[in-house]
Structure 1
Amino acid sequence: MPTLPRRPRPRGLSLIELLMFIVVVGIALAALLKVFVTATIGSADPMIRRQQLAIAESLLREVELMNFTWCDPESPQLATANSAADCAGGAENSGPETGETRYGPTYFDNVNDYAGFSMSGIRDATGTVLAGLSGYGASVAVTGMALDSVAAGEALKITVTVTAPNVSALSLQGWRTRYAPNDAN
C-alpha cells in the first residue's frame, strides 16, 4: 500500500482560540483597572489622615508637657500646695485664666488652660495659620477622671480632636497625672 504523504500540521491559532484569548485578557485587564481606579480614588485620603494624626499628636504632646498643679503657676504656693485649698494666690481651674491664650502675650501655663480650646485653621505659637492647613480645625477637651488607682483629682484625660477639610474627624486621647503633691515642672 502506498504511503500517503503526511500533511503538515497547521501552525497558529484558530479563530475560536484567538477570541477566547481576547475575552480572558479583557476580563483580567478590567479587573486590574478597577483595582487601579480604587487605589487612585483613595490615595488622597491617607494623606489627609496622616496630616490629622500629625496635628493631633503635636497638640496632644504640647498639652501633656504643660504643668499640672493645684495652684496657678503665678501663685507663691505653687511648689508646696497639697490641694487647691492651699493656694492663697488662686487655685488652678478648668480653662484659661483671664488674658491667657495659646498665642501670647500671656501664654497658657497649665494643662487645665487648654480645656475648651479650639482653633479653626492650624496655627503656630504666634497665631499664624500654617500654609496648607487652613482647612483643618482642632479642639481640646480636658476632664478630671480616675485612672486605675489614681484618684480623679490627680489625673486628667486629654482629648484632641482634629477635623479635616473633608469633614472627617480624628481623636487622640492622652493622660496627665500629678506626680508629687504638685507637679510644677
Structure 2
Amino acid sequence: MHLPRRAQGLSLIELLMFIVVVGIALTAMLRVFVTATTASADPMIRRQQLAIAESLLREVQLLPFTWCDPDDANVEVATSAAVVPLGCAATVESSGAESGETRYGPTNYFDNVNDYAGFSTTGIRDLSNTAVTGLSGYTASVAVAAAALDTLTLASGDALKITVTVSGPDSSSIVLQGWRTRYAPQSPF
C-alpha cells in the first residue's frame, strides 16, 4: 500500500518559527545600527564644521600674497620685502593684521593672506560682521606660517601653509590645511 504523498511547502509551525528567528535577528541588527548611530558624531555638526572650514580657507587663499602691503605704491613690481627701488616703497607686509585692519568690511578689511595669521572667532560671522544664524556654537581660527613647498624653501618665504581649525558645539574639531605661494613681481590678484 502506498502512503499518501506529503504536500509540498511549509507547515504553520515551520512558518511561525521562521518569523520568530528572522525577527530576533533583525532586532539584534537594528540594535547595532542604533548604537553605532547614537555613538557617532552628529553628522550635521561635522558637515557644518567642514563647510565653515572650507569657506574660511578659500577666503584666505583668494587674497593676494605680496611682499608689500597691498596699499603700497610698489606692490605690483616689488621683488623683495625691502624698502628699496625693486622692493616696497614704504610698507613691508608682515604676519598678522596691520593696525586698524579687520576681517569685516566695508573698509580697512584684510587685504593680504598674512593678515589672517592669528585670526579667530567665536560664533561664525559673514564678511559684513553679521552673525550666521544657527552657527553661534562654532569657533574658527586661522594660522598662517611660512613653509617649504616642493622647490620653495622655508627661508625664501615664498610659500605659506594656511591651517583652519573649526570646533563645533559638541567640542569636536576639524582641521583643514592649504597652501598659498608668492610670485614676484607680484600682482595684487
| 3-state secondary structure, aligned to 2:22 | helix
Give the counterpart letter for 2:38 in structure 1.
I
Give the one of 54, 73, 78 matched to 2:75: 78
- Structure 1: runs of 5 or more not aligned: none
**1:25 Cα shift?**
2.8
Are the structure 2 counterparts of residues 143 and 102 from structure 1 closer, same or farther at C-alpha, using a change threshold of 3 Å? same
- Is 1:155–2:156 an aligned residue pair? no
**1:149 Cα shift?**
0.2
- Measured in 1, the distance between the counterparts of 2:41 and 2:171 equals 14
Give the one of 31, 40, 43 matched to 1:46: 43
What is the RMSD computed on CA atoms of the aligned residues? 2.5
Residue equivalent to 2:174: 170
Residue equivalent to 1:126: 128
- Measured in 2, the distance between the counterparts of 1:83 and 1:44 equals 47
Are the structure 2 counterparts of residues 171 and 183 from structure 1 closer, same or farther at C-alpha, using a change threshold of 3 Å? farther
- Measured in 1, the distance between the counterparts of 2:114 and 2:51 equals 22
- Is 1:58–2:55 an aligned residue pair? yes
- Structure 1: which 4+ aligned runs deviate by more than 6 Å? 5-11
- Measured in 2, the distance between the counterparts of 1:148 and 1:43 equals 38
Give the counterpart letter for 1:71 in structure 2.
C
- Is 1:117–2:119 an aligned residue pair? yes
**1:144 Cα shift?**
0.5
Are the structure 2 counterparts of residues 21 and 76 from structure 1 closer, same or farther at C-alpha, using a change threshold of 3 Å? same
Residue equivalent to 1:67: 64
Residue equivalent to 1:88: 89
**1:130 Cα shift?**
0.3
| 3-state secondary structure, aligned to 1:128 | coil
- Structure 2: runs of 5 or more not aligned: none
- Is 1:37–2:34 an aligned residue pair? yes
Task: Report how many aligned residue pairs link the two structures.
Answer: 180
- Measured in 1, the distance between the counterparts of 2:159 and 2:51 equals 25
**Percent of residue pairs bearing the same amino acid type:** 66
**1:6 Cα shift?**
6.4
TM-score by length of 1: 0.85
Residues 74 and 89, structure 1, Cα contact 8 Å, conserved in 2:
no
**1:151 Cα shift?**
2.8
Residues 65 and 113, structure 2, Cα contact 8 Å, conserved in 1:
yes
Which structure has the larger Rg? 1
- Measured in 1, the distance between the counterparts of 2:129 and 2:135 equals 13
Residues 56 and 164, structure 2, Cα contact 8 Å, conserved in 1:
yes
| 3-state secondary structure, aligned to 1:38 | helix
- Measured in 2, the distance between the counterparts of 1:113 and 1:135 equals 25
- Measured in 2, the distance between the counterparts of 1:56 and 1:92 equals 25
Q: Deviations over 1:13-72 (max 9, x none)?
A: 45xx57744652342132232144136526872221111111111100000000100011
Larger helix fraction of residues: 1
* Further displaced range: 75-84 or 108-117: 75-84
* Further displaced range: 39-48 or 54-63: 39-48
Give the counterpart letter for 2:53 in structure 1.
A
TM-score by length of 2: 0.84
- Measured in 1, the distance between the counterparts of 2:129 and 2:77 equals 34
